[in-house]
Amino acid sequence: MILACLFMVVCLSACSASPDDGANHDSTERTAAADSLAQADADARGAEEGVGAENGFPAQSAGEEQQEEAPEAVSLSVKEQLTVGDEPRDGWVIAFETLNVRRFCYAQATVVGSFAAGQQITVTGPEVYGFYPVTGTDAQTGQQIEGYCSADYISLMGYTEDAVQLDVALYKQTDGRWGDLYLGESTHTMAEIGCTTTCFAMCESYLTGTEILPDQMASQLIYSGEGNLYWPEDYYQYYGTDYLVKIYQKLHQGIPVLIGSRRTSGSQHWVLVTGFDPGDKEIDSASDLSAADFVINDPGSGRTSLDQFFRDLPRYIKIAYYIGQ
């Protein structure tokens, strides 16, 4: 089955997608192709204020018969841990009504059954292109079924007030070491439109456990002639209006989340969500989450929280996060 899911479509257009209405779970189970075509974002055309400080950032045993020492345990990076695979674990359906179970991990695959809202199911493996492999009791027939469900409508944990702060390095797009770097073949520099590239550098540095600076990141990404960024195939783009729930889930899984929004004038900017801290507030459901609960690394300004970001750029575009190869 997995082989049927491993495909990608290169992004081709500039970022202008609108959020899903969330009313119909089938409308939000987008195909991998639709999400990949969702566009090569202008890497914050209209630049953003671009202010902020520079970032700181085997012996062998003696004797006639020599024996090799046991190799030291290798510490896996966050990315390596995420791609190794997951053991089966409990999940809960958070769709408003029923949630389709499909034969393969894309939205046009045959529906083999459905789960009821709030139903407990078993997630049997890691997320692939926005879908979880699942098994559980069919809501209509009562029989055991298996297939794939949109990850947007499955929660892998209950809500908790526990704060999360991922140790993500802060890079600034205006840093003198790379601020004047032209992106791709364009005439636009990192300082002007490089917020998304800088967010990717921060995210990849954290996930891989290595230092990947924005200029190094730029050499690994693909840009259009105008400097628009083509989204990497191992990052899933999510447009749902319940994005705070998805960010909450990903942070608790150890995954930072890119988020983009626009000013009323139309210019856009991207930041990286790196933490969750509700303070003394009780979190019992999705409705208890607010932008003020989330900590960000902003490559273009001194903002540190998601609500500060939205006060300046109130028109949400989408989020994106690493899903593995």
Rounded to whole angstroms, the Cα distance separating 249 from 257 reads: 10
Of 132, 155, 178, which residue constitutes the final position of a domain?
A: 155
pLDDT tens figures, 121-148: 988 888 888 899 999 999 999 999 999 9
pLDDT tens figures, 243-278: 998 899 889 889 999 999 999 999 999 999 999 999
The size of the chain, in residues, is: 325
Q: What are the backbone angles phi and psi of residue 270, rounded to the nearest 5°? A: -125, 140
Same domain, 115 and 262: no
Cα 169 from chain centroid (whole Å)? 17
Rounded to whole angstroms, the Cα distance separating 50 from 4 reads: 43
Cβ 222 vs Cβ 186: under 8 Å = no
> Residue 59 has what pLDDT?
34
Cα 175 from chain centroid (whole Å)? 25
How many domains are contained in the chain? 2
pTM equals 0.64
Residue 58 inside a domain? The answer is no
Query: Residue 236: which H helix or E strand, with range?
Result: strand 235-238
Tokens for 104, please give them.
Answer: 């393969």
Rounded to whole angstroms, the Cα distance separating 27 from 20 reads: 8
Same domain, 186 and 250: yes
Rounded to whole angstroms, the Cα distance separating 262 from 256 reads: 20
Q: Which of 62-76, 190-204, 232-246 has the lowest mean pLDDT?
A: 62-76
Same domain, 112 and 220: no
Same domain, 167 and 277: yes
Using CA atoms in the order 18, 22, 28, 29, what is the torsion angle rounded to 10 degrees?
A: 160
Same domain, 169 and 111: no
Among 187, 103, 189, which residue's Cα sits nearest to residue 148? Answer: 103
Same domain, 204 and 313: yes
Of 125, 155, 185, which residue constitutes the final position of a domain?
A: 155
Q: How many CA atoms lie within 13 A of 87 on its CB side?
A: 0
Same domain, 114 and 168: no
pLDDT tens figures, 281-312: 988 777 889 999 999 999 999 999 999 999 99
pLDDT tens figures, 26-57: 333 333 333 333 344 444 444 444 333 223 32
Residue 239 inside a domain? The answer is yes
Same domain, 293 and 235: yes
- pLDDT exceeds cutoff 60 at 149: yes
- pLDDT exceeds cutoff 70 at 197: yes
> Residue 95 has what pLDDT?
79
Same domain, 187 and 148: no
Angstrom distances, CA of residue 223 to CA of 217, 230, 232, 233, 319: 12, 6, 11, 14, 19
Q: Which residue has the tokens 């690994």?
A: 220
- pLDDT exceeds cutoff 80 at 5: no
Same domain, 243 and 318: yes
| Mean pLDDT to the nearest integer, 81-100 | 75
Residues spanned by the domain of 116: 85-155
The terminus-to-terminus CA distance of the chain in angstroms comes to 15
* Per-chain mean pLDDT for the chain: 78
Residue 44 inside a domain? The answer is yes
Among 324, 306, 287, 294, which residue's Cα sits nearest to residue 94? Answer: 287
- pLDDT exceeds cutoff 70 at 11: no
What's 27's domain CATH number?
Answer: 3.90.70
Give Cβ neighbours of residue 318 (< 8 Å, ≥ 6 apart): 15, 17, 19, 38, 237, 238, 239, 243, 259, 260
